[in-house]
Chain A
C-alpha cells in the first residue's frame, strides 16, 4: 500500500519536474530567439546602410547643382550615424570592428562639414572632389565584403548567439568564416590610405593629446613633484606623500601623487605633469557634511585657491550648487575677453569651505600666451545678426572653440525668449553665428 503511494508521489514528482523543466526550456528558447533577432536585425540593417552610403556617395559625385549636394551629404551623415548605432548593437568583441566604426565616424564628420557649408561661396575644390571619389570607392569595398559575409550568414544559417559564445569562451583559433570576414573588412578599412578629411580631423585628437603638445616648462623630478603637491594643497606634512609615475598609456608624462589629508583623516589624489609641473586634476576623498557656508562664500574660497596657486586673472563664469557641494567654472580673462577654452573647474565643500576638486584639462590643452583678440565687428554690428525675438540682457567678448574645434573670438550675448535663456556666440570677425545654446533650467524633482 505504502509502496504504491510512494510510487504515485514519485511519479507525480517526476512528471511535475518534467513539465517545469520543459517550460523553463521553452522560456529560455524564447529569450535566446529574441536576443538572436536583435543581433540579426542589427547586422542586416548595417549591410543595408552600407549599401545606402555607397549609393548616396555615388550620386554626389555626379551632382553638379549645389542645391542637391548639401541634402545628399547630410543624408550620408545621417546614415553613417545610424550605421554606427547598428555596430553598437553587435555581439562581437569591441576590438574586432573598431576601424570600420572609426571610418564611419570620419565619413560622417566629413559629410557633415561639407553639408553645412555654403557651396555658393566656397565650391568644392578639385582635391575635395577627389576625396569624395576615394571615399566612394572605399565604401564600395566595404559594401562588397559586407555582402559577402551576409550571404554566408544566410546560407549557413549562422546564429550570432553561437559566435558570441565562441568569442566569449576565447577558444583556440576560431575557424569561423564569418568572424574572419569581419576581420578582413576591418583590416581593409585600416589599410585605406588616409583620406584628407579636411581641416584637421581634430575631433579625434583628445584633450590629452592637446595637453601633451601644449605643455611648457622644465621637467621636474619626484622630489619637486612632492613639493609642488604640498604647496598646491597647502599641506605642511611632506613625509607621507606617495608618488607614482603614470603608465605609458597616458599621452603626457605625469606623476600621480597621493597626499594625506590629516585634518579630515583621508587622502587627496592629484596628477602633476612631469613637464612644467602643472596640476592636472585633484580630488579629495572625504565625505561632505551638511551645508554651512553659502555658495557665494565658497566662490570666494575657490578664487582665493586659484590666486594662491598663481592662476592669475581668472573670472568666475558659472556656479552651481549640488546639495552640499559648490561647482565653479573659472576662465582666463584677458583684456576683458573671456577665454572660455582656458577653463578650470573647482569644487568646494559647503560644510567647511575647502577645495575638494580641481580640474584643468581644457586650461592645459589650450592655454596660450598670445591670442588674437582684435575684433572687427562692434557689439552693435554683431547684434544685428541676432534673432529679432531675442531680448538681449548681457554682453561679453569671449574666445570659444566652435563646432569645427577652431578657436574663434566672439561676441557673447545672453538673451531671453519667453521663459528660456539663450547664449549666442557671434563671430567677432565674420559675424557668423557660431554657437547657439539654450541654457538649462533647474530640473523639477520627480517623485517616483
Chain B
C-alpha cells in the first residue's frame, strides 16, 4: 500500500511536470517574466514586458521603451488599485502572475519593433500590423537631423523626450483611462505590411531599450559633453580622479564666480586645457561616463574644489597659492 501510494505520487509528479512543461512550451511567443521584483527606475527586458502587458489590457498608454519611469509607475499603481493588490508600485510575483494570465506577450514582435526602432503600440485585440509605425521610427527620419547637436548647447534643463520628436506618433487611439477594455482595430492604416522575414534576427543580448534613465535636470547629451571633457582632462587617472574632475565642473556651475551651465563652464575661455588643445573631441570611454554620473549623483572626492592643476607642469604662481585640498592621481585639487 505504502509503495503504491508512493508510486501514485511519483506518477502525479510526473504528470504535473509534463503538463507544466507542455503548457510552458506550447504558446511559443509568450514569454514569462524573470522572477525578480521590478521597481521604479529599473530598465531592461522585464520592463519591456511589463509595459507591453499593461498596454495590452489598456493600463499603459506611453511608449514601450524599457524604462520604468513615472508613466509606468502610475500605470502599475492603477492596476494594483483596481485588482486590490497592495498599492506600492512594486511589481512582484503576484502582479506578474495576474498579468501573465490576463495578457499575451509576443516577445518576438515587441523586440523586433524595438530593434527596428519603430513607433508601435501593443493594445490587445488589435491587429499588430496596424499598430506598428514606419520602419526606423522617428529617430532616423527626423526632419531636423541637427537637432540634438543644437540641444547640447542649451543649458541643462529638463526636456521631455517628446520635444525632440516632431512628428505626432503613429499611435493607436488611447482607450479610456483605467478601463481594461479590448480595442477594436479601426485606426491608422500603415504602409502595406512589410515582408516580415526581411529583417535578420539579431542577438537578444543587445540592448533593446528605446530610452535611458537620466539624472534629474540633465540630458544624455549633457552627460556626453561632460564625459568628453573628463576624458580629455583625466585620461589615465584612477576613477576617483575622473569623478573629481567632473565634480569640479559641477562645483563651478554652482559657484557664483563661474558661468552657470555645464557647457559654459567647460567652454569658458582658458578654463580647461583639454578644450584649448582639442582633446575634448576624443571619444570618451565608459569609465569617463560613469565618473560623470557619479559626480552628478552628488559624489565629490574633492570636497568642493574649484581648481585643479598638475604639479609637474603648472607654472602659474597664482594656482600654487590656492589653498590645497588634496592630490588625487596626478592632479592637485584646490579651493
On A, residues with C-beta under 8 Å from B are 81, 84-85, 88-91, 93-95, 98, 101-102, 105-106, 168, 170, 203-204, 206-208, 244, 246-252, 254, 256, 269, 271, 280-281, 283, 285, 287, 291, 293-297, 299, 318-323, 325-327, 343, 345, 347, 357, 359, 361-362, 393, 416, 419-421, 438-448
Contacts and interface: CB of A to CB of B under 8 A. Distances in A.
Contact of B298 (A88, A204, A269, A359): A359
A394 B334 CA distance: 44
Given A283-B294, A320-B41, A444 B299 contact: no
B299 A281 contact: yes
Given A321-B42, A442-B69, A283 B36 contact: no
Given A283-B240, A345-B299, 5 more contacts: A105-B256, A295-B39, A442-B213, A443-B161, A446-B164
Interface pairs A-B: 9 shortest CB-CB: A105-B256, A294-B36, A442-B67, A249-B323, A421-B70, A249-B325, A319-B41, A442-B211, A296-B37
Interface stretch (B15-23, B188-196, B266-274): B266-274
Interface stretch (B95-103, B121-129, B301-309): B301-309
Residues of A contacting B: mostly: mixed
Contact of A444 (B71, B161, B258, B323): B161
11 contacts: A90-B269, A94-B270, A168-B270, A249-B335, A283-B301, A285-B240, A295-B41, A419-B71, A420-B70, A442-B67, A446-B220
Contacts, number: 212
A94 B294 contact: no
A326 B42 CA distance: 8
B297 A327 contact: yes
A443 B212 contact: yes
A416 B74 contact: yes
Contact of B301 (A271, A439, A448): A271
Contacts of A357: 294, 297, 299
A419 B162 CA distance: 10
B335 A443 contact: no
A215 to B, nearest CB: 13
B164 A440 contact: no
Interface string B206-223: 000111111111011100
A321 B260 contact: no
Contact of A345 (B34, B270, B297): B297
A283 B46 CA distance: 29
B175 to A, nearest CB: 15
B240 A347 contact: no
A129 B69 CA distance: 49
